């Protein structure tokens, strides 16, 4: 039986050494329906050209990764971060991405005040929201694993991100990721509280034991301890019909392999988890 | 001015290469008032002899580390884990430790059901509590960083641990650790909700950026991003007058140095954070 991959996307960082063009073609060639795009690859390709490649291949784009960091204490630097985020919102709109994934950084250099960093991020999101609504791109609030709380993102629990979405309202939503959230006692309750309409994309990544590197040792689906079937059951039960997107940072394993092999294994492992119950085409 | 170290303990894993006797003498020699003991060192020394060494040096013992893991799905293995925990509670009582630090493991081999692992741990604690009360040792529930949720401990947020203490009541308390909790939006609110009487010991460890190893790269106080002064202010404000205890796992740095140097630097860095406001001697 053919795998049903209509809801399945690969986040292009998973095939780190491929250009955007290689990723678009490599995913489409194996029947993957969507691509999570990173700004670095998109900029290297050119935004207009990237949009054309994606459109021509017929891929959907759950998200553009990521927002620019706003972990800058001085006003001029902070404002430059906001301007770069507006540029990325434009790029997301041009490639038809549903969301810009918010990974906003955390502490500024030398700073130790985490509550202040969190307030700064909230302020940045409040500032960006009208523009995001204007260009029709959702701010995808992603809880990042607490081991990234100092540098990558100060948004670290599902409850914290859901609270931000509720405060900001329309134009925001949750990017859920098993790698970042599997440990969180509020992950499943939070998914249900958010409701299917507020989950923008559901990232798949496994937690390896042992984890050999804080930043780049995410596991292929099935190689770790994450109970993907249980999450799929919850998502079905709550009526989620959005995308599933595998995203691996893997310097010891998948980044060292040929992209075609990584895609083939990702498809093979994820197919049982991503089929069925698709949103009607709009 | 002499540093006021009456509330200050060093957890002996910080001087990994020292025996219990070396640690007791090495800490006392530099005026440190307490020692956090690990079972491996205590067993190597002999419990009775260890108790004598500690008593003779006049050190207080905030805790014995750690409980035995109970991440065993079959009944016989689980029961053996409980028996070992009773033995460690006896040892804690014999050395005058206030608490046995609960680090209960998480998933059993091949298991992916984290909620089941959490239920199993709660069951083990319920089972052990009457015995802990009988021997006069508190079960020290410690939130461990979420990056240890698969292997070291399935207790990972302050709110989760506080909830366990509330359910189990007398004979339980919180072991708070800046390294494990600094990212947690519920850390400071949780400390206040717990109240000073339920914080057994306050561990000091810094979060390094970058963190080079998931397991053994904790930072000396002052070398990372943790805002220790802010926590001290909260603890003073809520009336906490218990111990402060530095605990470092540091394979790239402090474990490579001479124990006397590690102790000297720990005293120097922690002295401004641990003085004053001591509980009246009982």
Q: What is the pLDDT of residue B279?
A: 58
In Å, how far are A219, A230, B18, B156 from B112, measured between CA atoms?
14, 10, 37, 16
Q: Looking at beta carbons, which residues of chain B come within 8 Å of A179?
A: none
Q: What are the tens digits of pLDDT across the range B264-281?
A: 999 999 999 999 876 544
Q: What is the mean pLDDT of residues A267-275?
A: 97
Least Cα separation, residue A54 to chain B (angstroms): 35
Q: Do A113 and B147 touch (CB under 8 A)?
A: no
Q: Do A157 and B184 touch (CB under 8 A)?
A: yes
Q: Looking at beta carbons, which residues of chain A come within 8 Å of B230?
A: 112-113
Q: What is the pLDDT of residue A276?
A: 87
Taking the C-alpha atoms of residue B258 and residue B263, their distance in angstroms, rounded to an integer, is 9
CATH architecture of A8-274: Alpha-Beta Barrel (3.20)
Optimal mutation site among B69, B164, B225, interface A, most CBs of chain A within 10 A: B225
Query: How many other CB atoms sit within 10 Å of the CB of residue A269?
Result: 18
Q: What is the pLDDT of residue A2?
A: 76
Q: Looking at beta carbons, which residues of chain A come within 8 Å of B149?
A: 182-183, 207
Q: What is the pLDDT of residue B17?
A: 98
- CB nearest to A113's CB, from B150, B211, B227: B227
Taking the C-alpha atoms of residue B234 and residue B228, their distance in angstroms, rounded to an integer, is 10
Optimal mutation site among A69, A73, A144, A146, interface B, most CBs of chain B within 10 A: A146
What residues contact A58, with CB distance under 8 A and at least 6 apart? A28
Taking the C-alpha atoms of residue A262 and residue A275, their distance in angstroms, rounded to an integer, is 19
Q: What is the mean pLDDT of residues A208-233?
A: 98
Decide if pLDDT at A227 tops 70: yes
In Å, how far are B7, B19, B31, B48, B247 from B255, measured between CA atoms?
24, 13, 21, 27, 12
Q: What is the 3-state secondary structure (H, E, C) of chain B?
A: CCCCCCCEEEEHHHHCCCCHHHHHHHHHHCCCCEEEEEHHHHHHHCHHHHHHHHHHHCCEEEEEECCCCCCCCCHHHHHHHHHHHHHHHHHHHHCCEEEEEECCECCCCCCCCHHHHHHHHHHHHHHHHHHHHHHCCEEEECCCCHHHCCCCECCCCHHHHHHHHHHHCCCEEEEEEHHHHCCCCCHHHHHHHHCHHHEEEEEECECCCCCCCCCCECECCCCCCCCHHHHHHHHHHHCCCCCEEECCCECCCHHHCCHHHHHHHHHHHHHHHHCCCCCCCC
Residue numbers of chain B with a pLDDT score lower than 70: 1, 278-282
- CB nearest to A211's CB, from B107, B147, B207: B147
Q: Looking at beta carbons, which residues of chain B come within 8 Å of A159?
A: 185
In Å, how far are A125, A128, A148, B64, B254 from A145, measured between CA atoms?
20, 24, 6, 29, 26
Q: What is the mean pLDDT of residues A33-60?
A: 98
- CB nearest to B183's CB, from A156, A183, A207: A156
Q: What are the tens digits of pLDDT across the range A178-220?
A: 999 999 999 999 999 999 999 999 999 999 999 999 999 999 9
Q: What is the 3-state secondary structure (H, E, C) of chain A?
A: CCCCCCCEEEEHHHHCCCCHHHHHHHHHHCCCCEEEEEHHHHHHHCHHHHHHHHHHHCCECCEEECCCCCCCCCHHHHHHHHHHHHHHHHHHHHCCCCEEEECCECCCCCCCCHHHHHHHHHHHHHHHHHHHHHHCCEEEECCCCHHHCCCCECCCCHHHHHHHHHHHCCCEEEEEEHHHHCCCCCHHHHHHHHCHHHEEEEEECECCCCCCCCCCECECCCCCCCCHHHHHHHHHHHCCCCCEEECCCECCCHHHCCHHHHHHHHHHHHHHHHCCCCCCCC
Contact A88, A81 (CB under 8 A): no
In Å, how far are A108, B174, B227, B231, B273 from B243, measured between CA atoms?
31, 12, 18, 14, 11
Least Cα separation, residue A59 to chain B (angstroms): 33
Taking the C-alpha atoms of residue A138 and residue A102, their distance in angstroms, rounded to an integer, is 10
Taking the C-alpha atoms of residue B177 and residue B38, their distance in angstroms, rounded to an integer, is 16
Q: What are the tens digits of pLDDT across the range A56-86?
A: 999 999 999 999 998 887 899 999 999 999 9
- CB nearest to B207's CB, from A150, A213, A230: A150
Q: Looking at beta carbons, which residues of chain A come within 8 Å of B184?
A: 146, 156-157
Q: What is the pLDDT of residue B71?
A: 87
- CB nearest to A112's CB, from B111, B156, B225: B225
Using CA coordinates, name the residue in chain A closest to B207: A150
Q: What is the pLDDT of residue A82?
A: 96
Least Cα separation, residue B215 to chain A (angstroms): 9
Q: Looking at beta carbons, which residues of chain B come within 8 Å of A209?
A: 107, 150-151
Optimal mutation site among B107, B150, B216, interface A, most CBs of chain A within 10 A: B150
């Amino acid at each position: 039986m053919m795998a049903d991959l209509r809801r399945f996307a690969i986040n292009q960082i998973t095939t780190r050494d491929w250009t955007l063009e290689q990723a678009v073609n490599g995913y489409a060639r194996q029947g993957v329906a969507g691509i999570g795009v990173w700004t670095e690859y998109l900029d290297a390709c050119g935004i207009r050209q990237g949009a054309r490649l994606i459109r021509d291949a017929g891929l959907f784009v759950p998200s553009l990764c990521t927002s620019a960091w706003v972990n800058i204490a001085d006003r001029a630097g902070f404002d430059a971060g906001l301007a770069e985020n507006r540029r990325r919102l434009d790029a997301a709109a041009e490639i038809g991405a549903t969301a810009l994934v918010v990974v906003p950084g955390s502490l500024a250099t030398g700073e130790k005040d985490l509550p202040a960093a969190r307030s700064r991020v909230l302020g940045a999101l409040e500032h960006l929201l009208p523009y995001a609504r204007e260009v029709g791109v959702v701010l995808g609030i992603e809880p990042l694993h607490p081991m990234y709380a100092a540098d990558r993102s100060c948004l670290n629990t599902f409850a914290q991100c859901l609270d931000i979405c509720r405060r900001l309202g329309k134009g925001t939503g949750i990017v859920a990721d098993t790698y970042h959230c599997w440990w969180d006692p509020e992950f499943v309750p939070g998914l249900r509280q958010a409701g299917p309409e507020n989950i923008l994309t559901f990232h798949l990544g496994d937690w390896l034991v042992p984890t050999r590197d804080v930043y780049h040792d995410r596991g292929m689906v099935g190689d770790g301890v994450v109970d993907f079937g249980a999450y799929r059951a919850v998502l079905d039960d709550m009526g989620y019909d959005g995308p599933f997107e595998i995203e691996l940072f893997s310097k010891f394993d998948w980044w060292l392999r040929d992209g075609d092999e990584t895609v083939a294994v990702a498809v093979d492992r994820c197919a049982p988890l991503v089929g069925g119950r698709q949103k009607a085409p709009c």
